[in-house]
Every structure is written in structure tokens, then in C-alpha cells.
Amino acid sequence: MDNLTSYLIISAILFVLGLYAVMTRRNGIAILMGIELILNSASLNFVAFNRFGGMTKLDGHVFSIFIICLAAAEAVVALAIIINLFKNLESVNVDHASSMKG
Amino acid sequence: MTNLSSLSFYLPELFLIGIILLSIIIELIPGCRKYNYFVVLAGLISVAIMLSWSSTESVSIFMGMSVSDPFAIFFKWIFVIATFYIVLISRADNSLDKRLSGEFNILLLIVMFGLFLMVTANNLIMVYLSIEMVSIASYILAGMLKNDLKSNEASLKYVIFGAFASGLMLYGFSWLYGLSGSTDLHEISAALSGHMDQPFVIYMAILLVLVGIGYKISMVPFHYWTPDVYEGAPTPVTAYLSVAPKAAGIALLIRFFSSTFTTDISTTVSNIDWTTLVAVLSAITMTVGNLLALQQTNIKRLLAFSSIAHAGYMLMVIPVISVDARAAVMIYAVPYLFMNLGLFFMAIAIHNQTSSFEISKWKGLGSRAPLMAGIMVVLLLSLTGLPPTGGFIGKVYLFSVLIKFQQFFWLAVIGVINSVISLFYYFRIVKTMYFSSADDETVFKIHPLLYWSIISCVVPVLLLGIYWSPLINFVQHSISMF
């Protein structure tokens, strides 16, 4: 397990699982978890490419650290928004948030 | 260029950071809070002064992380003007909580800083960071009305769509990095030209990048968030989202696609035909935007769909990779800024009086407020693209680029048909204003800030329709890109 392909396969599986979670889950927090999976798959790709791709610079590692930081920032804002919605709607189901149509 | 010597090209941004910090500090001192508004406005003027002093060289700064070029400075002017207007009229909007006006201004400045980074980004890391910086602050802005369910929903939909789109874009970035071994946009382009054996992977990466940027400019099929977010968000925020991040997204798209996925002036990288893809998406974007706008009765939703259609018009010339095409988008962006802001300001004025965004509340405006109604007619003419307005000049330049470049002639035909469709729903508003008698004959009251802002929006729209050579000259000087 030290070749690039196995890492890419794992990251592709993570990506597809994330996509599946975003598309099927109706719970706002579960959708966020799916998005985190997608971000982590990209992160894994960056690190794997940097380690096995023969790159001399550490761009990929740096990028994955930025992704982790921004994923945290985004999760904070998203959770605050979901809590605020829960206060008004008493639900975290995104299908219930449907007062606007057309 | 090294980090220290780059700082001299970074004065507007440094000023902006200073003002953000200053207004956060002012917000913490109870007695000073009421001055925040004026500090932010004065700060924006100082940023504008710095911008007019900034050098017109095209250089890459901060070790190639971002660039400083006339193309970016042109868009920075648009952001400064838009932010100034929104901060100015945020006082006149009754729905915004006055106690939160400090936070509102600070978040708006943070979005503006993100937009500055977005138009100067020259590296995948900067592209991702700047898009997230704009997005995260806009999520909060959209949910600013904490007790309003619609505003909550708007921010929820925005955050879920936004995070999802940026996740997909990031996955595309990781493939681009894997293919090229670099995060610099120009180095990626150089490396991709040699990868003829991997066209499928490059195509996937291009698609995923297009999702991320397309979401920011609300390109169909990534436009689902637009109407709901525009309806639910506070109106000043909606007005801002419809002009500034959209212009930045277009600028980023131009820079990204013309430096990364293009080898020289007009050959696409590895012969991958992304130009047809963008052309088809642009045709779909304007058609969907215009057709869905036809049945709207809420002014904010109508303007949301109209802004989708306008994103389609601006996307139209991006497949034509040439300097003329870039100039046409820049020319279109200026009248678009003023005409859209003017209409949103009127929506705020009517909402202040009637607490409703229904178009039926515009009834009888022609006799109740003749000057304002006349101005609205001019702005709607401009949005449709009829003379003598700036919108007409912008559209003439867009279409002339397409007609000169024979390959996408069909796109120009679709564009003209779409302009005719848009005439129908824009002039339904005119009909409501002039030919329906008002339900209530109360005097139409308008906050003086809104009144003068609307007038200052219509002046450039009319001027550009009659005497547009200064704008063309300015664009010609700002065309060069690093």
C-alpha cells in the first residue's frame, strides 16, 4: 500500500460517498458531513500527489492544511446557521425549509 | 517578486485590512459605535484614492501567489463603488436591525477584501481561499435577519450549495495539481499542454472547476440557490450579491480559463473543446433565467432570475478567447452595476413603505412619484438593452464580438431572442407603474439617501448610453492581464 493508485482509489471512494450523502440525506447536519467527506477526499488527493508525484515543492501539503482550516471555518458558520434555523423552525430537515417557492 | 517589495502593489488591500480592524475596534467601544458608519464610508473613499494611485504595471506579487494588473484594478473599482453604495443605503433599509449595522458593515468589507483577492488570484490556493472568504462572509450576511424565517432559509440554502460547489471545485483542483505538479495557474497551463494522453482527466477537472466558479456567477445548472437566497436575504445584501461577487466570478473565470486552459491566444489546452461547453451553458443560462423570470410576481425573485440571464449574457463571449471579448465583458459590467443597484434601491424604498416585495405594490407609481417612475423606466430599458442607455452599449459590444467570431454566431441569435423575451417581463413592471391605478393613494415617501442613490445610479446609465467613449478608453487601458 505505498503506491499512488491505492490512495487515489480511496479518495475517489470518499468523494462518491460524500456526493451520495449530500444528495440523499435530508438532515442539514448529515449534508454537512457529506461535504466534509468531499473536502477530505480532495485533501487526501493533494497529499498523495505531493508524496508520490515526484514534486519538489510542498504545495500539496500546504493546500491540504488550508483545506482543513477552511473546512473548520465553514462548519462553524454552517452549524450556527442551522442552529438559528432550528430556533425558528424546530427542525434541521432541509425539506422543511421551503417557505420560498417559484 | 519578493514579499516585501510586493507590498507597494498592495496598498488598497492593506488600507482595507486597516479599516476592517479599525471598525471592529470602534464597534467594541460603546460611545463610538454610531461613528462606525462614517468611518467605513471614509475608509472606502481612502481605498478608492489608493486604487487610483496604484501602478498599472502587470506584475506577479507575493512569489507568484497573486498578481497586480490593470484588469484586476478595473474590477476593484466596481467592488469599491458597489460596497460604497450598499454601506451608504444600509441605513435607509428598515428591515435591517440597526444594532447590527456595525457587524453588517464589517462583514461587507470582508466580502470586499475577498473579492479583491479573487480578481488578483494567480494560484489555486489563492483561488480557493478567496472564494471561501467571499462565501463564508456572504453566508452570514444572507442570514443577517435572525428572526426572519426566510432569511434563515436563504443562508441555509446558500451555505449548503456553496460548500458543496466549493468541495467539487477543490476535487477538480486536486486533479489539476496531480496532472501538472504545480498550483500556479501559468505553470499548470504549461504542464497540461504536454498531457495529450489524459484528455478525460483534464476534461473532468475543467468541469469541476466550472462548477465552483459557475455557482458564484449563478450559471445554470448551478443556479438553484439564486432565487431563494436573493428573496430571503436582506435587500441590501441581495443587491450586493447580484453585482459584486458576480462580477468577481466572471473576472476569475476569464483569468482562470484564459491562463490555465488556453495555451496561446486562442488555442485551448490539449485541444479540449471547453469553449463549446461554455457556449452551450451560456445559452441555457440566459434562456432559463429569462423564461423563469416571466412568471415571477416578487420583485426580488424577478431580479434574481434577471441576474441569472445577465450572467448568461456575460458568459456568452467567454468562449471567444480574445482581447475584444474580455473588453466586451468589462464594458457590460459597468452599466450592469448601476442599473441593478438602482432597481434594488427602489425595491427597498417600496418595501419600507408597504412591507412587501410584490410587484403589485408598484401600482400607480407613475402618478404618485413621476420622477422615480421615470428613472425606473430608464433602468428597465437599460436592463433590456434598448437605447439610449448603457445597457444597450454593453449589449452591442457583446454581440459584435460574437458576430465577428463566426463560430458562435448562433449564440448571438439566441442572445437577441432572449433580450426580446426579457422585454416582456421588464415592461410588465412599467405597465404596473403607469397603467394600473394605485390601491392606496398615499403619498410615496422615500428616504433621501435612497432618493439620491437612485438618481446617482441613473446618471451613469444614461450618460453611457449617449457618450460612451470614456468608458471604452478606460477599458482599453485596463485590458492587459498578467
How far apart CA B474 and CA B306 sit, in angstroms, is 27
Residue B50 has pLDDT above 90, yes or no: yes
- The radius of gyration computed from the CA coordinates of chain A, to the nearest angstrom, equals 17
Q: Do B36 and B75 meet the contact criterion of CB atoms below 8 Å apart?
A: no
- pLDDT-derived band at B293, boundaries 50, 70, 90: very high
Q: Bigger pLDDT: B431 or B261?
A: B431
How far apart CA B247 and CA B231 sit, in angstroms, is 20
How far apart CA B75 and CA B57 sit, in angstroms, is 15
Residue B267 has pLDDT above 80, yes or no: no
- Cell digits of residue B340: 441593478
How far apart CA B202 and CA B25 sit, in angstroms, is 47
How far apart CA B69 and CA B58 sit, in angstroms, is 4
How far apart CA A90 and CA B120 sit, in angstroms, is 43
pLDDT tens by residue, A26-50: 999 999 999 999 999 999 999 999 9
How far apart CA B274 and CA B257 sit, in angstroms, is 9
pLDDT tens by residue, B362-420: 988 888 889 999 999 999 999 999 988 999 999 999 999 999 988 889 999 999 999 99
CA distances to A82, B92, B148, B447 from B95, in Å = 22, 9, 10, 14
Residue B391 Cα to chain centre, angstroms: 15
B167·A38 Cβ contact <8 A = yes
Q: Do B228 and B154 meet the contact criterion of CB atoms below 8 Å apart?
A: yes
Q: Where are the domains of chain B?
A: 273-482
Q: Do B224 and B285 meet the contact criterion of CB atoms below 8 Å apart?
A: no
Instruction: Work out the average pLDDT over B339-349.
Output: 95
- Residues forming beta bridges with residue B184, ordered by sequence position: B123
DSSP state of B273: -
A100·B153 Cβ contact <8 A = yes
pLDDT at B196: 66
- pLDDT-derived band at B270, boundaries 50, 70, 90: low
Contact list, A11 vs chain B (CB under 8 Å)? 174
- Cell digits of residue B294: 416571466
Contact list, A55 vs chain B (CB under 8 Å)? 181-182
Q: Do B344 and B315 meet the contact criterion of CB atoms below 8 Å apart?
A: no
pLDDT at A1: 57
pLDDT at B427: 92
Query: In a 3-state reduction of DSSP, which class is residue B207?
Result: helix
Lowest mean pLDDT among A18-22, B182-186, B319-323, B472-476: B319-323
Share of chain B above pLDDT 70, in %: 98
How far apart CA B223 and CA B232 sit, in angstroms, is 15
Q: Where are the domains of chain A?
A: 4-89
How far apart CA B40 and CA A14 sit, in angstroms, is 44
Residue B269 has pLDDT above 90, yes or no: no
The single-letter code of the amino acid at B70 is: P
Strands (E), B165-317: none
- Cell digits of residue B321: 478567447
For residue B370, whether the previous peptide bond is cis, meaning omega lies within 30 degrees of 0, is no
pLDDT at B264: 64
- pLDDT-derived band at B436, boundaries 50, 70, 90: confident
Helical spans, DSSP H, in B181-198: 185-192
Q: Do B243 and B335 meet the contact criterion of CB atoms below 8 Å apart?
A: no
Which residue, chain included where needed, has cell 445577465?
B310
Residue B132 Cα to chain centre, angstroms: 16
Residue B422 has pLDDT above 80, yes or no: yes
Query: In a 3-state reduction of DSSP, which class is residue B68?
Result: strand
Burial A48-68 (b: 16+ CB within 10 A, else e): bbbebeebeeebbeebbebbe
- Cell digits of residue B178: 496531480
Instruction: Name the CATH code of domain A4-89 (choices 3.60.20.10, 1.10.287.3510, 1.10.3720.10, 3.20.20.120).
Output: 1.10.287.3510
Residue A100 has pLDDT above 60, yes or no: yes
Model confidence, pTM = 0.95
> Which helix (H) or strand (E) covers residue B377, if one does?
helix B370-384
> Which helix (H) or strand (E) covers residue B181, if one does?
none
- pLDDT-derived band at B3, boundaries 50, 70, 90: confident
Q: Give the closest of A42, A57, A102 to B170, CB-based.
A: A42
The total number of residues shown for chain B amounts to 482
The total number of residues shown for chain A amounts to 102
pLDDT at B185: 92
Q: Do B101 and B37 meet the contact criterion of CB atoms below 8 Å apart?
A: yes
Contact list, B140 vs chain A (CB under 8 Å)? 77
pLDDT tens by residue, B147-185: 899 999 999 999 999 999 999 999 999 999 998 889 999
Return the number of other C-beta atoms located less than 10 Å from residue A83's C-beta.
12
Q: Provide the mean pLDDT of chain B.
A: 92
In SS3 terms, A2-38 reads as CCHHHHHHHHHHHHHHHHHHHHHCCEHHHHHHHHHHH
- Total beta-carbon pairs less than 8 A apart between chain A and chain B: 125
The single-letter code of the amino acid at B338 is: F
Spatial neighbors of B150 by CB under 8 A, at least 6 apart, are A99, A100, B231, B232
How far apart CA B260 and CA B195 sit, in angstroms, is 13
Residue B7 has pLDDT above 80, yes or no: yes
pLDDT tens by residue, A67-80: 999 999 999 999 99
Nearest CA in chain B to A80: B140
- pLDDT-derived band at B189, boundaries 50, 70, 90: confident
How far apart CA A100 and CA A46 sit, in angstroms, is 39
pLDDT at B407: 87
Spatial neighbors of B114 by CB under 8 A, at least 6 apart, are B130, B131, B132, B133, B134, B137
Taken in order B86, B92, B98, B102, the sign of the CA dihedral is positive
How far apart CA B336 and CA B115 sit, in angstroms, is 17
Nearest CA in chain A to B165: A35
B167 CA: distance to closest CA in chain A (Å) = 5
* Interfacial residues of A (vs B; Cβ cutoff 8 Å): 11, 15, 18, 22, 28, 31-32, 35, 38-39, 41-43, 45-46, 49-50, 53-55, 57, 59-60, 62-63, 66-67, 70, 73-74, 77-78, 81-82, 84-85, 88-89, 94, 97-100, 102
- Cell digits of residue B364: 400607480
Q: Which of residues 173-202 of B touch A (CB under 8 A)?
A: 173-175, 177-178, 181-183
pLDDT tens by residue, B79-111: 999 999 999 999 999 888 888 899 999 999 999
